[in-house]
Structure 1
Amino acid sequence: MASSDTVLLVIDAQESFRARADDWAETANPAVLDNIALLVADARGRGERVVWITHSEPGSGGVFDPAQGFVRVIDELGPLDSEDAVTKTTINSFLSTDLDERLRSAGVRRVVICGIRTEQCCETTARAAADLGYEVDFVTDATTTSAIPASGPLAAVSGEDIMRRTESILAARGFATIIRTSDRTGIAAAR
């Protein structure tokens, strides 16, 4: 285990999302996997822990049901056997797992967040981490989401607008420092 007080949380970068081909094709940030890979390589180079978090909905019959075979980290991201893996059943990565215990026992004070569904699991985990007393860096260009279609009186919202809104709320309310992949890695992020 690395001895740094910083950990990279890779949230829901899992095959479940690619199993929904139409949704994945419309992702707001097609470079998300390249940027996550840059962050992972950087964290490993710094001796920081990498925690791979996946979302599971046992018995649902959908793409998040482990029985379907998609609840696994996207293959090309290459998690190492020595790195922590956590499976959650809630949007908040802390609520249904022992993640907080693991991080505290390792002396972690700062979490760096990237992954899939900017406004859902990534944002919710950032807020929870801040509430638990962690310093939070939110790497928006290493997250992605999809548009929300119009429904009844509600207007459609683009994935890009959702990502910008998440940045604004997290920063303005003090939940996280918003950074880019290049801020951590010194390497220009993919676009």
Structure 2
Amino acid sequence: MTSLPQNAALISIDVQQAFNDPSWGQRNNPDAEQKIAALLAAWRTTSRPIFHIQHRSASPTGLFRPGTPGYELKPEGRPLAGEPVIVKNVNSSFIGTDLEARLRAAGIGTLVIMGLTTDHCVSTTTRMAGNFGFETYFVADASATFERTGPDGRHYTAEQMHDTALASLHGEFATVLWTEEVLAALGTQATARA
């Protein structure tokens, strides 16, 4: 990637405090929120569009219930005034929302996707973005996930889950990049450590 169009949209998915709950288990990439903050800052500097996605639990006992701390966005992912926040109830940011309509109405054809978690909501949204025909980029180090246990009882580390999700997405649904590459394509002087 050498450059991004001026209307390339940054999609920040579920950067919510519910993911701080210890019930998720071990997580990879502790620097993801720092990378997310750096990308948001760079996007704002270049006046490109940003869309924040916020998950809302359908269950009355879910970690993402409105009115609970878990529902709130983490400080690194909070929107500024005027930045749209789209609330979803399922894994995909496109299902049951007006995200696609907003993107089409604005003439946006390029999406850069980041957030939590790599193999669930971020991957599902990325797959649909690719299927909808958007030029889609997934920022590997601005996402993270948790360890999982398979149906046969085998344990998969958070890093294994993250890496296999990236491998499944790359070249099929999106181009996987790292924060430094995206910042360079924006043409800003920002760094991933900002």
TM-score using structure 1 length: 0.89
Q: Distance in 2 between matches of 1:61 and 1:167?
A: 31
Q: Which of 16, 19, 22 does residue 17 from structure 1 map onto?
A: 19
Residue 150 to residue 59, structure 1, CA distance change in 2 (3 Å): closer
Which residue identity lines up with residue 170 of structure 1 in the other structure? Answer: L
Q: Distance in 1 between matches of 2:146 and 2:59?
A: 25
Residue 189 to residue 61, structure 1, CA distance change in 2 (3 Å): same
Which residue identity lines up with residue 125 of structure 2 in the other structure? Answer: T
SS of the residue corresponding to residue 170 of structure 2 reads helix
Which residue identity lines up with residue 169 of structure 1 in the other structure? Answer: S
Which residue identity lines up with residue 178 of structure 1 in the other structure? Answer: V
Q: Aligned residue for 1:181?
A: 179
Q: Distance in 2 between matches of 1:150 and 1:136?
A: 29
Deviation for aligned residue 1:23: 3.1
Q: Does 1:131 align with 2:131?
A: yes
Deviation for aligned residue 1:189: 3.7
SS of the residue corresponding to residue 107 of structure 1 reads coil
Deviation for aligned residue 1:50: 1.0
Q: Please give the per-residue CA displacement for 1:58-101, whole angstroms capped at 9, x wherever unaligned.
A: 44222111132421211243410110100000101001110001
Q: Aligned residue for 2:187?
A: none
Give identity over the alignment, percent: 30
Which residue identity lines up with residue 67 of structure 1 in the other structure? Answer: G
Q: Please give the per-residue CA displacement for 1:120-162, whole angstroms capped at 9, x wherever unaligned.
A: 00011001001111010000100000000355x2311111111
Q: Distance in 1 between matches of 2:153 and 2:119?
A: 17
- The CA RMSD over aligned residues, in Å, is 1.9
Deviation for aligned residue 1:168: 1.0
The structure 1 segments of at least 4 consecutive aligned residues displaced by more than 6 Å after TM superposition are none
Equivalences, count = 184
| Gaps in structure 2 of 5+ consecutive residues | 185-189
Cα contact 1:111–1:135 (8 A) shared by 2: yes
Q: Distance in 1 between matches of 2:128 and 2:89?
A: 15
TM-score using structure 2 length: 0.87
1:107-186 matches, cutoff 5 A = 107-149=107-149, 153-172=152-171, 174-186=172-184
Cα contact 1:148–1:158 (8 A) shared by 2: yes
1:18-167 matches, cutoff 5 A = 18=20, 20-21=21-22, 23=24, 26-149=26-149, 153-167=152-166
| Stretch moving more, 82-91 or 154-163 | 154-163
Deviation for aligned residue 1:179: 0.3
Deviation for aligned residue 1:170: 0.9
Cα contact 2:112–2:137 (8 A) shared by 1: yes
Deviation for aligned residue 1:16: 1.5
